[in-house]
Amino acid sequence: MKKETLKTLVVLLILCAVIAATCYYRAHPKEKVITPEDNSEFVNLTDAVPDAILEIRYFGTYNFVGARIDGYKAPVALLTRVAADSLRAVSDDVMKQGYRLKIYDAYRPQEAVDHFVRWAEDVADTLMKPYFYPDLDKSVLFAQDYIAEKSGHTRGSTVDLTLFDMQTEKELDMGGTFDYFGPESHPDFGGNPETGEYAPAKGITAEQFAHRMLLRQAMLRHGFKPFDSEWWHFTLKDEPFPDTYFTFPVKPIR
């Protein structure tokens, strides 16, 4: 084989390899690696849901600890982009019915969860017991799963919220407060959440149960799933980071 022909063949082979590699990587782009410190797939909740009202309890002192929680650097709410988009659909839904979403918490850094654990281990600290767990001894909070070392909030697609009535300019009466530790907070307290049928229960009225169901059904319609012990807590069914517990603080995303 002549040298010129050999050179031409080598060039053609190299060219074919380059073209093949380019086609492969276009068809199989390298996936972005998400680390616990990476907030690039998160958004400010109010950028996605501008009608939402924020009352970020863990940035203040009115919460079951009675102090600002570690990791909350600003009174803002963060969510993954996909969860925020779904929550926008919920907001549009309830707005048509005369309500707005009021957000108590969304993304929660692992640092905050660690703060909860330290607080729960200090059984002598019962500053907020009259408001959030009057009927429980603090020593049972771990055993009864009120406090845990991991939280779905830390994965970025869970939100705690209620409904705000635009006509009365007040929160809807849900028959119980956010973060109350007790059976009164369970979605099935006072009825069957699957059917929406009310069953008389001490401490909750048919109207209060109906309000809980109004929030629940709106969240279910737009891709969220409920939590069996908190009427205010919902997680996106197809959450994008089911195994990642993020660590970046709660502060505005620029």
**Gyration radius of the chain's alpha carbons:** 24
Determine the 3-state secondary structure of 191 from DSSP: strand
> Is residue 125 predicted with pLDDT exceeding 70?
yes
> Is residue 213 predicted with pLDDT exceeding 60?
yes
Q: Which of 55, 171, 184, 230 is catalytic?
A: 230
pLDDT per residue over 86-105, tens digit each? Answer: 999 999 999 999 999 999 99
pLDDT band at 202 (very low <50, low <70, confident <90, very high): confident
Question: Could you tell me the residue ranges of all domains in the chain?
Answer: 1-30, 40-236
- Whether 194 sits among the annotated catalytic residues: the reply is no
Are 164 and 214 in contact, with CB atoms under 8 Å apart? no
Q: State whether CATH 3.40.50.410 applies to domain 40-236.
A: no
Contacts 24+ apart (CB under 8 A), 177-183: 177/131, 177/132, 178/57, 178/104, 178/232, 179/57, 179/63, 179/64, 179/104, 179/132, 180/132, 180/133, 181/64, 181/132, 181/133, 181/136, 181/141, 181/144, 181/146, 182/133, 182/135, 182/136
Measuring CA to CA, how many Å separate 148 from each of 142, 160, 251? 6, 17, 24
pLDDT per residue over 138-166, tens digit each? Answer: 999 999 999 999 999 999 999 999 999 99
CA angle 98, 53, 55 (to 5 degrees): 135
> Is residue 248 predicted with pLDDT exceeding 50?
yes
pLDDT for the residue 18:
46
